[in-house]
Amino acid sequence: MNRIVRVVVGVAVVLGLVMPAAAQEAPRDHVKWTERKKDPVIKEMVERDKKLEAEARKKTEEILARLKKEEKERRESRPKLRFDVSGIEKPAGPEAFTTAWHTPPVAQYLTGTCWSFSATSFMESEVRRLTGQEIKLSEMWTVYWEYVEKAKGYIESRGTTLFAQGSESNALIRVYATHGVVPEEAYPGVLAEDGRHDHAAMVRACREFLEWCKEHDYWDPELIIPTIRRILDLTMGPPPETVGWKGATMTPQEFLEDVCRLDPSAYVSVMSTLSVPFWTHGEYRVPDNWWHDASYVNVPLDVWYGIIVDAVKAGSTLVIGGDVSEPGYWGEEDIAVVPTFDIPGPYIDQDSREFRFYNRTSTDDHGIHLVGWTRVGGHDWFLIKDSARSARRGKYDGYLMYRDDYVKLKMLTFTVHRQFLKGILEKVAETERKLAAEKAGDEAPERPEPQASH
């Protein structure tokens, strides 16, 4: 029996089922944390690769910086196409014009808000013309609310309308009708210590937020509009809900109606294009007309130009907009004319104007305030109050002089009080009545022919 037991135990030991007494008493191994050792060769190779990558990045940055600098130098040194103005007989300066009252020129700085500066200046002149009061109005009040309206339009159109700094002069009419207006002192619309307007970062932040909303198909105005307003507030400051004026407190709407005594519905925008029937209302088809305003009155070029001349001669001003990217537009010389190498004056007509609008060599660049008129060298000349930097490159800070050929060919729309459209609005109404009647007749079902009786 003992022999059998010994055999079984021996087999178990061999098979590892039972540990011998000596093995059971051996010490056990334990884990231990040690410092990681890097292979010196691999370490050297990794460090070498990192150094090479850093040198390559630095080299690339140096090359790109050099190329950017060289391109900037080439761009800044590139001459602009201009022309010899020595043969042009032009007015001696702003003092040579018969002018309507207007506030002094102010700068728009780093903004694309010429439309508000020019239209606000126009309204200041209108307050003076209609009431005798001289009131400096806030440009940025209108700009602030137009940004808000653009954000609403972006939401409603699901991101298909433009959100940018530009707009049209009649946007001011729409903002006044909805939000009223305030004096400049109540809302300068700038928080920067230097007092200069700069909307670049603000508009970029608004656009990036709206693009995020579009990307995520998120269109809740209860969240989006307050967020847009918060972004505006950080740069422009929040607009006031009431204003003080000569001891009285009033809303912006009351200031518009009771103090300025302006009626937004009294102002009409006028264009001249072959793309819309003459003597009708139509849409001005440019990106800055983001709300697709179709209230523009469309008339032939000679009528369009005649309204401008008659209004300014009668002591009014106009806010006018169009193209300022031509060789004949020369801030250093204080003029805007059409040189003969572009098109000779006698050839400027409805067709040449339309052709340039069609091929986009006449674009909707800039809004300005037309404040005076004179006659020199057989031409009408117009004194222009301008908020852009280009109007400060010559002798007259904030003023340019436009010749009649430039206005006829390159200016595209204007806004004026309806009193200077007498007879025109009546003709438009009559034309549209006739067109509506003709359309109704075309759409009316045909009456069956009477049948002979049997």
Is residue 454 pLDDT above 50, yes or no? Answer: no
Q: Is residue 44 part of a domain?
A: no
pLDDT at 296: 98
CATH for 276: 3.90.70.10
Task: Determine the Cα–Cα distance for residues 12 and 18; give it in Å rounded to an integer.
Answer: 6
pLDDT digits (tens, 9 = 90+) for 319-363: 999 999 999 999 999 999 999 999 999 999 999 999 999 999 999
How many domains in the chain?
Answer: 1
Closest CA to 209 of 268, 163, 249: 163
pLDDT at 360: 94
Q: What is the mean pLDDT of residues 282-301?
A: 97
Q: Is residue 28 part of a domain?
A: no
pLDDT digits (tens, 9 = 90+) for 79-118: 888 888 888 999 999 999 999 999 999 999 999 999 999 9
Phi-psi region of 215 (alpha: psi -120 to 50; beta: other; left: phi over 0): alpha
Is residue 62 pLDDT above 60, yes or no? Answer: yes
Q: Is residue 85 part of a domain?
A: no
Q: What is the mean pLDDT of residues 130-150?
A: 98
pLDDT at 22: 53
Is residue 65 pLDDT above 60, yes or no? Answer: yes
Q: Torsion angle, CA of 394/398/402/406, rounded to 10 degrees?
A: 90
* Reported pTM: 0.84
- For the chain, what is the mean pLDDT? 93
- Please write down the long-range contacts of 104-107, taking CB distance under 8 Å and 24 or more positions apart: 104/398, 105/385, 105/386, 105/387, 105/391, 105/397, 105/398, 105/399, 106/139, 106/387, 106/398, 107/196, 107/387, 107/389, 107/392, 107/398
Q: What is the mean pLDDT of residues 362-369?
A: 97
Q: Is residue 400 part of a domain?
A: yes
Neighbours of 357 (CB within 10 A): 23
Closest CA to 368 of 393, 391, 345: 391
CA of residue 260 relative to chain centroid, distance: 27
The span from the first CA to the last CA of the chain, in angstroms, equals: 140
pLDDT at 299: 98
Q: Is residue 440 part of a domain?
A: no
Q: What is the mean pLDDT of residues 429-436?
A: 96
Closest CA to 115 of 305, 297, 320, 370: 320
User: Between 218 and 35, whose confidence is greater?
Assistant: 218
Closest CA to 315 of 107, 132, 90, 106: 132
pLDDT at 17: 53
Q: Is residue 11 part of a domain?
A: no
**161 burial class (0-12, 13-18, 19+ CB within 10 angstroms)?**
middle
Q: What is the mean pLDDT of residues 47-52?
A: 95
Neighbours of 40 (CB within 10 A): 8
Is residue 10 pLDDT above 80, yes or no? Answer: no
Q: Is residue 158 part of a domain?
A: yes
Mapped onto helix, strand or coil, the DSSP state of residue 137 is strand
pLDDT at 453: 44
Is residue 5 pLDDT above 70, yes or no? Answer: no
Is residue 15 pLDDT above 60, yes or no? Answer: no
User: Between 452 and 344, whose confidence is greater?
Assistant: 344
Closest CA to 231 of 312, 294, 148, 158: 148
Q: What is the mean pLDDT of residues 246-270?
A: 97
Mapped onto helix, strand or coil, the DSSP state of residue 298 is strand
Map tokens 């439309």 to a residue.
115
Q: How many CA atoms lie within 13 A of 261 on its CB side?
A: 8
Is residue 245 pLDDT above 70, yes or no? Answer: yes
**What is residue 198's DSSP assignment?**
B
Range of the domain at 274: 94-433
**What is residue 257's DSSP assignment?**
I
Is residue 278 pLDDT above 90, yes or no? Answer: yes
Is residue 51 pLDDT above 50, yes or no? Answer: yes
Q: Is residue 1 part of a domain?
A: no
Closest CA to 385 of 137, 124, 83, 174: 124
- Looking at 30-34, 126-130, 280-284, 380-384, which range is the least confident one? 30-34
Q: What is the mean pLDDT of residues 62-75?
A: 93
**What is residue 265's DSSP assignment?**
G
